[in-house]
C-alpha cells in the first residue's frame, strides 16, 4: 500500500514537474518555416535606395566636388561610398522624386562651370548648379557597385527629350549624341536598364488623372529606344497609399480595355506605389510615447494590405502578373530636425525607424512574388536615411544596420514562414484602440544558408519564440545578431555614433528549441544545412 502511494506520488510529481516545465518554457510565439514551400526568389532590387536632389542628399551627402577638402574620388565622397558598399545596394533611383519631372538632363552634362543654374522648385527653391548630372551619377553608382535607376521627366518633359537621353546613355554607335557622351568622358554606353517613366504623376509630376497619365505612359514608352542587352525594366507611376482608383483607371486605359475592350498590356515591367509612414500624431523622430511607438509600427505594417489590394486590382487586367508591384518610395517621414530648413526633410533616425525598416522588409520578403522593386527614401540626409553627414563627418543610422543585416536575403528563395503570436494592444491616434503583432518574421534560403529575420515589437518585454523547421532536419544555428537597445528612443549622433548597432548573441552549446528576443529588437539568425 505504502509502495503504491509512493508510486502515485512520484507519477503526480513527474506530471506536475512536466506541466510546470512546459508552462515555464512554453513560447508565446511560434515561427514555422516550411522548407518545401518557396514563395519566390527575393528580387535583390527590393533592397533598393533612392537619392534625390533634395536638401543634403546629393550636394554634401554624395557630391562635394573634386576640389573639396573632404576626401573624394572625382568629387564623390569616399566615406559615403565605403559605407554604402557594406549594405550592398542593388539599385539607386535618381534624380527624384518630385525633382525628376522638372529635370532636364542636358543641364547636367558637359564641363561643370558651363552648366546652367536652375531653381529647385520643389525643395526650398535653392539654386541647382547641376554639377551632379548624368556622368557623376553613373560614376557614383559604379563606385558603390550598384545599378543605376533613372526617373524620367514626363510632367514637364517630352518623349523626344527622353528618347535623346536614352540614346545618349545607351547607344553604341556613331550618332551625334553618342559622340557627345564620348566627348564628355564616357565612350562606352552606360547601359541603363531601370527606368521610371515619370514620378507621382497624380501630384508633383503633373497633377494628372490616371487615364491621362496612362496615355502619356504609352506615348513615352513608345520612344524608349536603345535598350540594354537584358531589356529595359520600365516602371509606371502608380498610386500613393490606398488610391485604388488610380490603379484601376491606369490599368483600364493601359490595357486597352477602355478603348476597344481588348486586354493587352505591354512595355511595362512594374507599377510603382509610394507609401510613407509618418504623421505628427506619432511624435517626432526621437520623442514619442510608447503608444506612439506602436502606432508608427502599426502604420508601417499597413503596407501589406495596400500590396494585397493593389495586386488584386492589377490581377483583373493582368491575370498572369506580367507587371510586378514596385514600392519605389517608402519609409518614415517625421517632422524636420529642429533648426533645419523644413523643405530639406532632414530627420533623425531612431531604433523605432529600424523596426519600421525590418517590419517592412519582412513584409516585402513574404510578398516577393508580387514585388519587383522597392526603394527606401532616401539614402543620405533625407527622410529615413542610411547616412547622416555634417561637413566632413558621417554617421550611419539604425536603418543602415537593418539593411546590412538583411542583405543575405537579396536573391535568396523566400520560404513560407507562418507566425503564431500574441497581439499588443495600444491606444492609437484619435484615441482608437489598435493592436500589432508581437513578433514578425521572414525567412529565405540560398544554397546551404537559411536566414531568418525576427522582430520583437514589444517596447519593454522579451519575446520567447519557438522555431520549427518543416521538411528540413539538419538546420543548425550558426550565428545570431541582434539590434536592440534598452531605450526605444535610442539613436546615433555625431557625439555617440554607435549607440545603436548590431551585436552578436552568444550561442549555447546545445541546440535551442526557443530563442528569447530582446525588447524592441531586430534579429538575424543564420542556419546552415551543411
Catalytic amino acids?
Answer: 200, 329
At a CB cut-off of 8 Å and minimum separation 6, what does 479 contact?
504, 507, 525, 526
Nearest Cα residue to 379 out of 43, 42, 60, 44 = 60
* Residue 7, C-beta contacts closer than 8 angstroms, at least 6 positions apart: none
Q: In the chain, count of helices (H) and strands (E)?
A: 12, 25
- Taking the complex as a whole, the smallest distance from the CB of residue 485 to ligand AHR amounts, in Å, to 27
What's the CA gap between 440 and 295, in Å, rounded? 16
Would you say 133 or 155 has its CB closer to ligand AHR? 155
Nearer to ligand AHR, 136 or 200 (CB): 200
Q: Rounded to the nearest whole angstrom, what is the least distance from the CB of residue 242 to ligand AHR in the complex?
A: 16
Nearer to ligand AHR, 60 or 329 (CB): 329
Query: To the nearest whole angstrom, how small is the minimum distance from the Cβ of residue 373 to ligand AHR?
Result: 15
Nearest distance from C-beta of residue 215 to ligand AHR, angstroms: 21
CA–CA gap between residue 100 and residue 200 (Å, rounded): 10
Nearer to ligand AHR, 161 or 200 (CB): 200
Residue-wise DSSP of 307-326: HHHHHHHHHHH-TT--SEEE
Q: Is the peptide bond before 97 cis (omega within 30 degrees of 0)?
A: yes
Residue 204 Cβ, how far from ligand AHR at the closest point, in Å?
6
Using CB under 6 A, list all residues that contact ligand AHR. 52, 96-98, 199-200, 329, 377-378, 383
Between CA 211 and CA 204 the distance in angstroms is 17
The DSSP element (H or E) to which 479 belongs, if any, is: strand 476-483
What distance in Å separates the CA atoms of residue 452 and residue 490, rounded to the nearest whole number?
25
CA dist 351 and 397 (Å) reads 9
Looking at the Cβ atoms of 151 and 515, the one nearer to ligand AHR is 151
Nearer to ligand AHR, 97 or 239 (CB): 97
Distance CA 79, CA 346 (A): 19
d(C-alpha 502, C-alpha 96), whole Å = 31
First to last CA, the chain: 56
Number of C-beta neighbours around residue 310 at 10 A: 24
Amino acid at each position: 500500500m505504502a509502495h503504491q502511494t509512493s508510486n502515485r506520488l512520484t507519477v503526480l510529481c513527474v506530471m506536475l514537474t512536466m506541466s510546470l516545465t512546459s508552462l515555464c518554457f512554453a513560447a508565446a510565439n511560434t515561427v514555422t518555416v516550411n522548407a518545401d514551400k518557396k514563395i519566390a526568389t527575393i528580387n535583390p532590387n527590393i533592397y533598393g535606395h533612392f537619392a534625390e536632389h533634395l536638401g543634403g542628399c546629393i550636394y554634401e551627402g554624395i557630391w562635394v566636388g573634386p576640389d573639396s577638402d573632404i576626401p573624394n574620388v572625382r568629387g564623390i565622397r569616399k566615406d559615403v561610398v565605403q559605407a554604402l558598399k557594406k549594405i550592398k545596394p542593388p539599385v539607386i533611383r535618381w534624380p527624384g522624386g518630385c525633382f525628376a519631372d522638372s529635370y532636364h538632363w542636358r543641364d547636367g552634362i558637359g564641363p561643370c562651370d558651363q552648366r546652367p543654374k536652375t531653381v529647385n522648385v520643389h525643395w526650398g527653391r535653392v539654386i541647382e548648379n547641376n554639377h551632379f548630372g548624368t556622368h557623376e551619377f553613373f560614376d557614383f553608382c559604379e563606385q558603390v557597385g550598384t545599378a543605376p535607376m533613372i526617373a524620367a521627366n514626363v510632367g514637364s518633359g517630352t518623349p523626344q527629350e527622353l528618347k535623346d537621353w536614352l540614346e545618349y546613355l545607351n547607344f553604341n554607335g556613331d550618332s551625334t549624341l553618342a559622340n557627345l557622351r564620348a566627348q564628355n568622358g564616357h565612350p562606352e554606353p552606360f547601359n541603363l536598364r531601370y527606368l521610371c517613366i515619370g514620378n507621382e504623376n497624380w501630384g508633383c509630376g503633373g497633377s494628372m488623372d490616371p487615364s491621362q497619365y496612362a496615355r502619356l505612359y504609352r506615348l513615352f514608352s513608345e520612344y524608349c529606344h536603345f535598350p540594354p542587352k537584358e531589356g529595359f525594366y520600365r516602371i509606371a507611376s502608380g498610386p500613393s497609399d490606398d488610391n485604388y482608383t488610380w490603379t484601376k483607371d491606369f490599368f483600364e486605359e493601359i490595357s486597352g480595355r477602355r478603348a476597344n475592350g481588348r486586354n493587352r498590356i505591354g512595355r511595362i515591367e512594374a507599377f510603382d506605389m509610394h507609401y510613407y509612414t509618418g504623421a505628427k500624431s506619432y511624435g517626432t523622430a526621437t520623442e514619442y510615447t510608447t503608444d506612439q511607438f506602436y502606432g508608427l509600427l502599426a502604420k508601417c505594417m499597413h503596407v501589406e494590405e495596400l500590396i494585397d489590394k493593389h495586386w488584386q486590382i492589377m490581377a483583373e487586367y493582368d491575370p498572369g502578373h506580367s507587371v510586378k508591384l514596385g514600392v519605389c518610395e517608402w519609409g518614415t517621414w517625421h517632422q524636420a530636425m529642429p533648426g533645419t530648413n523644413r523643405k530639406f526633410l532632414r530627420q533623425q533616425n531612431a531604433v523605432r525607424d529600424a523596426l519600421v525598416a525590418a517590419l517592412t522588409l519582412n513584409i516585402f520578403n513574404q510578398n516577393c512574388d508580387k514585388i519587383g522593386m522597392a526603394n527606401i527614401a532616401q539614402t543620405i540626409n533625407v527622410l529615413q536615411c542610411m547616412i547622416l553627414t555634417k561637413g566632413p563627418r558621417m554617421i550611419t543610422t539604425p536603418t543602415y544596420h537593418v539593411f546590412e543585416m538583411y542583405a543575405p536575403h537579396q536573391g535568396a528563395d523566400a520560404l513560407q514562414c507562418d507566425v503564431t503570436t500574441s497581439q499588443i494592444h495600444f491606444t492609437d491616434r484619435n484615441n482608437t484602440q489598435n493592436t500589432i503583432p508581437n513578433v514578425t518574421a521572414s525567412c529565405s534560403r540560398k544554397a546551404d544558408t537559411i536566414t531568418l529575420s525576427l522582430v520583437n515589437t514589444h517596447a519593454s518585454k522579451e519575446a520567447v519564440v519557438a522555431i520549427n523547421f518543416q521538411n528540413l532536419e539538419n538546420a543548425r544555428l550558426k550565428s545570431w545578431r541582434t539590434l536592440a537597445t534598452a531605450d526605444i528612443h535610442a539613436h546615433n549622433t555625431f557625439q555617440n555614433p554607435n549607440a545603436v548597432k548590431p551585436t552578436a548573441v552568444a550561442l549555447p552549446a546545445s541546440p535551442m528549441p526557443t530563442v528569447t528576443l530582446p525588447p524592441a529588437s531586430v534579429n538575424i539568425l543564420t542556419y546552415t544545412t551543411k
